[in-house]
Chain A
Amino acid sequence: MRSGHFKERYQQLVAVSDNRAAWGWSGLLVVALLLLPLVAGTYPTQLATRVLVLAIGAVGLNLLTGTAGLISIGQAGFMAVGGYTNAILLTEAGWPVEVTLPLSGLAAAVISLVVGIPSLRLKGLYLAITTLAFAFIINHMILYADDITQGNRGIFLPKSTFLGVGLTKGPGLYYLCLALTVVMVLLALNILRSRVGRAWMALRDHDIAAKVMGVNLTVYKLYAFMVSSFYVGLSGALLSLEVRFINVDVYGLLLSIEALAMIILGGLGSVRGALLGAAFLTLLPESIRLVFDAFGSGAQQLFSNYVFQIRELLYGVVIVLVLRFEPGGLNGIWRNTKKYWSNWPLSYG
């Protein structure tokens, strides 16, 4: 009878997962997601696409804020860099999506050094405000670099394909986002078990102690900014492909706040948490809608008029409740539930 999951070898500690069942269930989840467009309607697939787009960004932000402890409210700015790079390369240079997507991530990564280098001596709220200022600066630059970004007028993206598959109609974009999410999640999990990932955790937990142990704070903070921004830039580029029109309003400050809410609610420092947070907050309004639908037309009317007030209210309420009762977020709830059933009937804690 199991009384716990014990890691007895160093390899188990650094493995992406030492649990075969976890690999099996993850594989099953990917298969289910592959089948989603075939069994669900168009709208659920479109919703799932949005979840995947935001999940990539949330995983990126989680690496920076959750793992490395560097608080950022500049998510919207980095997403805008990715989105505009993608749009400009597609429309002006006529390059294919296969090339523009990685370049969008790279552009955001390079631009992140502009924030990263001056912010090396900052942490906590001071760093948060600096990244917020960065988002404003990016917004300002987009508006004034009219010749490149088309300023206020915004950019319409052309119909695109990826490896010959259309991204405009049908599930093409969904499958692209799914594939990229799987790749980026595996990449994040691997980074976390490497020296880089451990260094990030060390500088999050105690930067002076990390320095004493030989972690080069400058280098690893910049790594954190660049890697995180690559994810976020990629997410911004995918959002531009999904919306097919971009201007500064598409990358509003609300995106930064939502991204932070996703990783806090999901569970700081956990890739699974970022994925759960992105899915939960994106699907929350739809879940509320389903509940209201169950109560008939009167409730539906009320819901139509107050959907976002209710959603915003729920945002706050859910985050407060999670932080009060489960500081580990959705990931903490997942972990505790799993532990309970794995160890049943000898569950504890």
Chain B
Amino acid sequence: MFGRMLLAGATALALSGGAALAGDPGVSDTEIKIGDINILSGPAKFVGDGVVLGSKIAAAEINANGGINGRKIVIITEDDGYVPSRSVQALQKLISQDEIFALNGTSGSSNILAMLPIIEEEGLPTVVTTAPNSKVYSENGAPPTVFSIGPGYVTPFYAQVKYIHEHLEPANAKYGLIIQDDDFGDSIEQGYDKAVKEFGLNDAIRIRYKKGQSDFSAEVLNLREAGVNVLVSGAIFGGQASIFKEARKLDLDLQAATVWVGDMPISVKLFGPAGYPYLVADYVVAFTDPAAQAFVENAKKYVGDEALASDRYTYVTYVGLKTLAEAMRRCGQELTRACTVEQLDKMENFDAGGLMAPITFDERNKLAGTAVKIYQFDPTNSGFKTLTEFTDY
């Protein structure tokens, strides 16, 4: 009798174990767990805050509308403090302890690179919405389950220099480049190089600075010495504010191309007082754009006034999670990671609500939303004028 009970018990255990093994982790009858690894401490915390808000708005909206085939989305956020080894640790935790189904937040460029080996081993569907890096695109050997949204820095800078050359170039134009001495700066230089070669521009000076530098008086003096009147700048926030402030002190007449964070409210506060009508090329809309304002109004329904803190990182992460959710929805009740990746591969012109260009992936091209829009800052009203619609370069 005891032997039979033991056999029956063992059979039941084996069957239940088999059933559990058949499905992918992170999916139950009622919920789907999505991981989000982000920068929620340190100087770059503002990026993570925007990303977390984007995921939160998208999840709240999806869940309020019935979830994904009846399953609610649960976001599990981990902070990596922008440290790659911590990103790996956080991902290990999300996979082995929380058993996530997919990943939507991937922190910075080095951080996603550090996580790639584990993502590949786990076959984890991953949407990269911040710090797109050419090493992460599938054609460069990255895992086929990784999908990136947004171009690297090459395209936006090529686009801005092209626009300046064709529409805003001053007489006797002399171009100057100022960049950080890392991969971020290298990407910007590639975009600049491309434009310089293609349009035969007068490349007067190239300056590299150390990450974290705050005083740019010497660099701006060098720009003046070289007679630069078109500045292509890879500095951000305080750095860019310092460059504009020094340039204004020296009364330099500059046409400037800047990094896409230039269209964030904080940048406007920092750069605005210098009064330069700088350009920004971005793959998401500026916060003053009607599409961004419509997004915030809609988001208020789900997260209240928290939606007012939305920025470009919020928009792109929102689009990322909505794209991932659409792929999962198309899989129906039998949701698996393989099916999600297959559906992401088939994603064609998924509407991003005007926040960015529609999303299209395929098996060979895992990079979408590369079209950029060029804005020009208007110092008179601290707003942005749209110079071009979303365009692929």
Q: Which residues of A contact B (CB under 8 A)?
A: 41-43, 46-47, 50, 143, 151-154, 156, 168-169, 239, 242-245, 247-250, 252, 254, 304-309, 311-312
Contact of A252 among B41, B83, B182 (CB under 8 A): B83
Whether A50 contacts B89 in the complex (CB less than 8 A), given A243-B84, A244-B117, comes out as yes
Q: Are A245 and B114 in contact (CB under 8 A)?
A: yes
Whether A242 contacts B113 in the complex (CB less than 8 A), given A143-B182, A153-B183, A308-B41, comes out as no
Apart from A43-B93, A250-B110, A250-B114, 13 more pairs, CB < 8 Å: A42-B92, A42-B96, A46-B96, A50-B85, A143-B182, A152-B182, A152-B183, A168-B121, A243-B84, A244-B114, A247-B84, A249-B84, A304-B78
Chain B stretch 76-129: residues in CB contact (< 8 A) with chain A? 76-79, 81-85, 88-89, 92-93, 96-97, 108, 110-111, 113-114, 116-118, 121
How far, in whole Å, are A309 and B88 apart by their CA atoms in the complex? Answer: 19
Q: Give the chain B neighbours of A152 by CB distance below 8 A.
A: 182-183, 186
How far, in whole Å, are A254 and B78 apart by their CA atoms in the complex? Answer: 19
7 contacts between A and B (CB under 8 A): A41-B96, A46-B92, A250-B110, A252-B83, A307-B78, A307-B79, A308-B81
Contact of B77 among A239, A305, A309 (CB under 8 A): A305
Task: Provide the main secondary structure of the chain B interface.
Answer: helix
How far, in whole Å, are A143 and B186 apart by their CA atoms in the complex? Answer: 11
Q: Are B96 and A245 in contact (CB under 8 A)?
A: no
How far, in whole Å, are A243 and B41 apart by their CA atoms in the complex? Answer: 21
Chain B stretch 175-189: residues in CB contact (< 8 A) with chain A? 181-183, 186
User: Is B135 engaged at the interface, CB distance under 8 Å to the other chain?
Assistant: yes
Contact of B84 among A250, A308, A312 (CB under 8 A): A250
Q: Are B114 and A308 in contact (CB under 8 A)?
A: no
How far, in whole Å, are A143 and B110 apart by their CA atoms in the complex? Answer: 14
How far, in whole Å, are A243 and B111 apart by their CA atoms in the complex? Answer: 10
Contact of B113 among A43, A168, A169, A247 (CB under 8 A): A247
User: Is B52 engaged at the interface, CB distance under 8 Å to the other chain?
Assistant: yes
Q: Give the chain A neighbours of B116 by CB distance below 8 A.
A: 156, 245
Q: How far is the CB of B77 from chain A (nearest CB, A)?
A: 4
Q: Are B40 and A305 in contact (CB under 8 A)?
A: yes
Interface size class of B (residues with CB under 8 A): 20 to 34
B41 and chain A: residue at smallest CB distance: A308
Q: Give the chain B neighbours of A154 by CB distance below 8 A.
A: 110, 113
Contact of A243 among B77, B108, B114 (CB under 8 A): B114
Q: Are B76 and A304 in contact (CB under 8 A)?
A: yes
Q: How far is the CB of B142 from chain A (nearest CB, A)?
A: 10
Contact of B42 among A47, A153, A308 (CB under 8 A): A308
Q: How far is the CB of A15 from chain B (nearest CB, A)?
A: 38
Q: How far is the CB of B85 from chain A (nearest CB, A)?
A: 5
How far, in whole Å, are A249 and B374 apart by their CA atoms in the complex? Answer: 31
How far, in whole Å, are A11 and B23 apart by their CA atoms in the complex? Answer: 63
Q: Are B40 and A306 in contact (CB under 8 A)?
A: yes
How far, in whole Å, are A92 and B89 apart by their CA atoms in the complex? Answer: 27
B90 and chain A: residue at smallest CB distance: A307
Annotate B47-84 by CB proximity to A: 1 below 8 A, 0 otherwise: 00000100000000000000000000000111101111
B93 and chain A: residue at smallest CB distance: A43
Q: How far is the CB of A284 from chain B (nearest CB, A)?
A: 13
Contact of A46 among B40, B78, B89, B135 (CB under 8 A): B89
How far, in whole Å, are A182 and B77 apart by their CA atoms in the complex? Answer: 35
Q: Are A254 and B113 in contact (CB under 8 A)?
A: no
